[in-house]
Chain A
């Protein structure tokens, strides 16, 4: 893959944009999109598996509980997963960026409503029951996701680099998703691993 980038650089040297190289565009954009995608990917899959906590948070915010149902939460989660994957594929990258931007607007809006109503119920955004209620953190995350659209719109790369983009973005998203998942469930890992570690120390070999 590295030699492909080198050849791409040599082949396109004459038509490079003055402000950024093809190499930096592809890797930089793939990294940013991969991280943004991982957030939506993990959030979507987690809510598909465990929508209960998100449902509770929405019921706390909206008195009319018919506005939030398990089906709607799962539908939203499915859109998150779809948007995260579409963003990683070069051919449909801009569609993914638009979807991620819309999701960012939703995150930020719910965060604002949660902050205004002083929500106390864990938001369940990443599926787990412990966590912060809807508030400032969601607003910040939402704005960060909204920036994905203008960033993708402003940067371009050569058609010969599309496959490299997809590969780099998919790999970045996979690694970031794994790291995020392990971070979210770190307490489980600590509880399971720590007694074993303590026991190993206490028992002489």
Chain B
């Protein structure tokens, strides 16, 4: 494929669309690659893939700075990539290599990167919610205009700590976005069985937190809602909740027999592919989107090769960093 020059006078909207698409295709291909590598045994840890949910990560993180802080979920590769996580150390963590983000010791569900403002993905449903609250407290205390954001699924909406945190964020006007990825399933249980409320956004109203429910597969809608919420937080107006309706194409975990939904339902949702949706909004950029797909594929393959070459952690790594300050250290 030959390199097409960018159209003259590429509008800011078009540039933005390309950047958003770039993020989404990287997430998509990273997940597909991880899926393939796990199937062939090269990744041995459990994976919770976010294929189909790319628009939420891309749209929410697009307006964020490096100094803004996020916590993520067990299904967090997309959030981490969108926030600035680098491909090789992420892949390296999945390969359990010493050069992975967490020294290979934590795996897919705990990726963390201070340089990108990623406090950490989290294996405990709802575990990252009050941690993000604390980040927002620090931001407020330090009189910064940064923001904190926490991603969580609608499964976490049943955890008490979400409600504690909405209450506190509202009381103290903390600069935090609560981003709910409502993908219809808490592990293997559909929403209709585990939530009495119609919308997760309804919970926010009780705590006087502004909230909105949007199409989480429309990255431009996600972006608009995120920008509004982030601007509000930066201006000292407190928290917001974004409920993003989306769908995960793969099972809860890789290997999930998915007895709880039909193939027809999955296929119906794949037609609402967030990447295709963005493409259809900018048909004139089709060639550019293709180039971004290709480049992402190349970059991910390079990351796989690089991470594959890294060493495993040494046996002594088991006892490293149990404490930040071991006894006797200053």
Q: Are A and B physically bound partners?
A: no
B-to-A contact residues, CB < 8 Å: none
A-to-B contact residues, CB < 8 Å: none
